[in-house]
Amino acid sequence: MTPATPLLPPAHWRDFLALTKPRVMTLVVFTGLCGMLAAPVGVHPVIGFTAILCIALGAGAAGALNQWYESDIDAVMRRTQKRPLPDGRMDRQAALHFGVGLGAFSVLFMGFAVNAVAAAILTVSILFYVLVYTVWLKRRTPQNIVIGGAAGAFPPLIGWAAATGDIALLPVLLFLFVFLWTPPHFWALALFMKSDYAAAGVPMLPVVSGERTTRTQIGLYTIPMAAVAILPWPLGLTGAIYGIAAVLLTGWFALLAVRVAKRTTHADDAMKPEKALFKYSILYLFVMFGALVVDRWFA
């Protein structure tokens, strides 16, 4: 007989906030904002604000549903053990209702207040993160983040669509850029979090195929990522501000990726190259999208 689940008191608002993965989502929302600001048409500030709010709420909902589904894994990994569900600070039903309610609200609000195209892409990204990545692929294949990672690449498209009601070549390139950035971003982290994933039985690339393959794959994905990062400039979609920033920032990314790829065993660096690449990957995406907006507005 299964023991009855003890009734938990209502969770603190901070725990609901933690369910939305606020730190990761800042970059998701920022790329959405930059996608909107890079569009060739002005947006009414209220509509613009609403669109960004909806991306934030939708992404938060996706994060909550992800945590609802995988609290068993989160309970095993040191990095995630203190989350509200594995730590027993929140009732599972509450997390589920919060995620579904917030997700539905974000999509409907986007649809009614902004436009149907933005609402449709937001729906796809939430479903992609929750169903394709979390439920279907994460526990099955080391390609989980390659395919499922597409979810996190949609926000620039959503932001652009919120402004124009349409999609175009530049936001598609931005989608591809984040899509190709995700494997080096995540596998760099997975290299130094390998034992956590192994303990939880999650088939991340370093666990299944080993460190050597992961390092090579990071190097390989960096090549098309770099090409797509710079491409908007020669295509005339951006000016030299973005172009020069892209060349320099991407050059540094490539250098770090080569250091990760070449590393064979553990040397005594101040910081392991994979840790340096992971940290830089976040700063890199922030600055690249910032440079895009500066270029489109001031060039």
Nearest to 32 by CA among 120, 119, 142, 161: 161
Per-position x/- string for 156-195, each x denoting binding to ligand HEM as judged by CB under 6 A, each - no binding: ----------------------x---x--xx--x------
Q: What is the 8-class DSSP label of residue 129?
A: I
Q: CB 215 → ligand FPP: shortest distance, Å?
A: 20
Site for ligand FPP in 80-119 (CB under 6 A): 80
Helices 169-192, 273-298: inter-axial angle, 10-degree rounding = 160
Exactly one of 59, 94, 256, 288 binds ligand FPP (CB under 6 A); which one?
59
The torsion defined by the Cα of 156, 151, 202 and 6, in degrees rounded to 10, comes to 110
Which of ligand HEM, ligand FPP, none does residue 154 bind to, with CB < 5 to 8 Å depending on kind?
ligand FPP
CA 52 vs CA 22, 130, 158, 287: distances in Å: 14, 20, 9, 19
How near is the Cβ of 164 to ligand FPP at its closest, in Å?
Answer: 18
With binding defined as CB under 6 A, does residue 28 bind ligand HEM? yes
- Cα 36 to Cα 44: distance, rounded to the nearest angstrom: 11
Cβ proximity to ligand HEM: between 242 and 280 the closer is 280
Out of 66, 214, 217, 238, the only residue in the binding site for ligand FPP (CB under 6 A) is 66
CB of 169 to ligand FPP, least distance (A): 21
Closest approach of ligand HEM to the CB of residue 275, in Å: 12
CA distance 58 to 121: 11
The Cβ of residue 56 has, within 10 Å, a number of other Cβ atoms equal to 20
SS3 state of residue 244: helix
86-93: Cβ within 8 A, 24+ apart: 88/8, 89/8, 89/11, 89/12, 89/15, 90/8, 90/11, 90/15, 90/16, 90/19, 91/7, 91/8, 91/11, 92/68
Contact between 18 and ligand FPP per CB under 6 A: no
- Binding residues among 249-288 for ligand HEM as defined by CB under 6 A: 282, 285
Nearer to ligand HEM, 107 or 204 (CB): 204
The residue within the footprint of ligand HEM, chosen from 48, 86, 103, 149 (CB under 6 A), is 149
CA atoms within 13 A on the CB side of 269: 12
What is the closest distance, in whole angstroms, from the C-beta atom of residue 271 to ligand HEM in the complex?
A: 16
At CA 179, angle to CA 85 and CA 136, rounded to 5?
45
Choose the one of ligand HEM, ligand FPP, none that binds residue 178, judging by a C-beta under 5 to 8 angstroms depending on kind: ligand HEM
Q: From the list 43, 151, 205, 288, which residue makes contact with ligand FPP (rule: CB under 6 A)?
A: 151
Of the pair 81, 93, the CB lying nearest ligand HEM is at 81
Closest approach of Cβ 9 to ligand HEM, in Å?
26
Residues that bind ligand HEM (CB under 6 A): 23-24, 26-28, 31, 79, 133, 145, 148-149, 152, 178, 182, 185-186, 189, 282, 285
